[in-house]
Structure 1
Amino acid sequence: MQLKGKNVLITGGTRGIGKCMVQYLITHGVSHIAVIARDKKNLKDLSLEYPEVNFIRIAGDIANIQVLRDAAARIEDKWGHLDILINNAGIVAAGPLEDIQDEDLYDQVAVNLTAVMLLTKYCIPLLKFSEEAYILNISSGLGLIGMPFYAVYGSTKAAIRQFSDSMRRELAPFSVSVTCAFPTATDTEMMQKFKGRKMDAPEYVAERSLEGLFNKEIQVIFGGEERLIENTLNFEAPEELDKKVAQNYEERKTASLDHKAV
């Protein structure tokens, strides 16, 4: 696919998988990128790193509805249309549900799900003005299989899967394709607690997700054959997966404690 001349909006594009996606897009000819991120310094550093790129820098929390409305309005004013929307930003606060702070529960729903729905809503008119538009939603492997101690995070990511399916079918008449990616453990700041564990490189996750998007794949599932087997087991024989998960219940609980990246 020819990416030169495409207009892109990405959330969480200054760190981790998001920044790797920005780098990939720039390498492949994209020079118009709008980035929503909370850290103003990271946004400025990104534009200094790539002075040849026309950035629209949007500093703010995507849980704030006005930030999302302003982003869509600025893109309409400056570019007139949008070709690629990447809903990448996400947060996690794990642990037993009864121990998760109420605010952390609300924030995960707001950032991981509500913001994705609202930003997509605001961008649909801009995407419809594109000759061929794309939406990439970043879910998680935990959005495919419900695991203990990730009930809130996993539920928001499972909702992204359903939302992606709905939008793909709703927007099909308008030449807007929708892809949902399901990364497994990835070596980013969100997973710093698990340094030393074997994880996917963010560069790989970014490249494979974008390739899936431009190939119009419905889903990009990471984790190899083991994840595919677990997915099948989860739907065809969930009780068997229950037994497998129960074998290391305490280990999973301990690993989830203090796993928080917000």
Structure 2
Amino acid sequence: MQLKGKNVLITGGTRGIGKCMVEYLIEKGVTNIAVIARDKKNLKLLSEEFADVNFIRITGDVANIQVLRDAAARIEDKWGHLDILINNAGIVAAGPLEDIQDEDLYDQVAINYTAVMLLTKYCIPLLKFSEDAYILNISSGLGLIGMPFYAVYGSTKAAVRQFSDSMRRELAPFNISVTCAFPTATDTEMMQKFTGRKMDAPDYVAQRSLEGLLKKEIQVIFGGDDRLKENTLNFEAPEELDKQVAQNYEERKTASLDHKAV
């Protein structure tokens, strides 16, 4: 697929993986990009950095239903249809479940999952007007394997995986493909507390995820052979993986403390 001339909507497109996706799309010739982000200043800076791009700047929290409705309405008014939807925005608040603040639990569900469902719902009519439409949902490696101290975050990302499978099958008759990406630790603001840890570069994750979308891959799983082996073990012999995780339980707990990025 040629990206030039396509209309794209992305959430969380002003920093991290999302910003790298915007840069990749522009490099490949995309000039119509709608971006939903909470930071009005960063949205303005993005449009100033890429002055030749026709941005639809949507300031707001994806947890706000009206922001999502307005985004779809503005795209319909300005472009008439949508070719690519990228559900990228996400937050994390880790730690023992009993210690996670109620508000942080609700916000993770609202932003990481509910917003994905609602924005997709509002965009389906716009995607149906495209000759060849694509949806890219950004999940997480923790959406494949449940790990201690990431019960809420991992559950929301596992839900994104299930939602992606469901929508891929539901939208197949309308020539709308759905790809779900599962990044491992990525060097973004969300992981800034883990200094010195080996992580994927955000531009690599962005490019590989978008390449998967363009090839209509069902899943893009990061982490190499080790992650694939863990996935197989988790499915075929979960008790064995339980034993492995238990070996560094306290280390995992300590690492999760104060891991919060919103």
**Match of residue 132 from structure 1:** 132
The one-letter amino acid of 1:40's match is K
Q: Deviation digits for residues 31-73 of structure 1, max 9, x if unmatched?
A: 0000000000000000000000000000000000000000000
User: How does 1:189-228 map onto structure 2 within 5 Å?
Assistant: 189-228=189-228
**Match of residue 37 from structure 1:** 37
In 1, the alpha carbon distance for the partners of 2:225 and 2:234 equals: 14
1:118 aligns with 2:141: no
The one-letter amino acid of 1:85's match is L
Q: 1:194 aligns to what SS in structure 2?
A: coil
**Match of residue 69 from structure 1:** 69
In 1, the alpha carbon distance for the partners of 2:150 and 2:248 equals: 15
Superposed displacement of residue 195, structure 1: 1.7
CA RMSD across the alignment: 0.3
In 1, the alpha carbon distance for the partners of 2:92 and 2:134 equals: 26
**Match of residue 80 from structure 1:** 80
Superposed displacement of residue 250, structure 1: 0.0
In 2, the alpha carbon distance for the partners of 1:5 and 1:218 equals: 24
Q: Deviation digits for residues 195-232 of structure 1, max 9, x if unmatched?
A: 21000000000000000000000000000000000000
The one-letter amino acid of 1:252's match is R
**Match of residue 57 from structure 2:** 57
In 2, the alpha carbon distance for the partners of 1:213 and 1:240 equals: 33
Q: 1:178 aligns to what SS in structure 2?
A: strand
Superposed displacement of residue 27, structure 1: 0.2
User: How does 1:1-262 map onto structure 2 within 5 Å?
Assistant: 1-262=1-262
The one-letter amino acid of 1:157's match is K
The one-letter amino acid of 1:94's match is A
Runs of at least 5 residues in structure 1 that lack an aligned partner in the other structure: none
Q: 1:207 aligns to what SS in structure 2?
A: helix
In 2, the alpha carbon distance for the partners of 1:56 and 1:2 equals: 21
Q: Deviation digits for residues 162-188 of structure 1, max 9, x if unmatched?
A: 000000000000000000000000000
In 2, the alpha carbon distance for the partners of 1:198 and 1:223 equals: 11
Q: TM-score scaled to structure 1, two decimals? A: 1.00
Q: Deviation digits for residues 72-122 of structure 1, max 9, x if unmatched?
A: 000000000000000000000000000000000000000000000000000
The one-letter amino acid of 2:169's match is R
Runs of at least 5 residues in structure 2 that lack an aligned partner in the other structure: none
In 2, the alpha carbon distance for the partners of 1:7 and 1:187 equals: 28
* 4+ residue runs over 2 A deviation: none
The one-letter amino acid of 2:147's match is M
In 1, the alpha carbon distance for the partners of 2:207 and 2:25 equals: 9
Superposed displacement of residue 243, structure 1: 0.0
Q: 2:14 aligns to what SS in structure 1?
A: coil
In 2, the alpha carbon distance for the partners of 1:111 and 1:193 equals: 21
Q: Deviation digits for residues 135-166 of structure 1, max 9, x if unmatched?
A: 00000000000000000000000000000000
Superposed displacement of residue 7, structure 1: 0.1
Superposed displacement of residue 256, structure 1: 0.0
In 2, the alpha carbon distance for the partners of 1:8 and 1:130 equals: 11
In 1, the alpha carbon distance for the partners of 2:181 and 2:192 equals: 21
How many residues align? The count is 262
Superposed displacement of residue 127, structure 1: 0.1
Q: 2:2 aligns to what SS in structure 1?
A: coil
In 2, the alpha carbon distance for the partners of 1:196 and 1:239 equals: 31
Q: Percent identity?
A: 90
Q: 2:196 aligns to what SS in structure 1?
A: coil
The one-letter amino acid of 1:154's match is G
The one-letter amino acid of 1:212's match is G
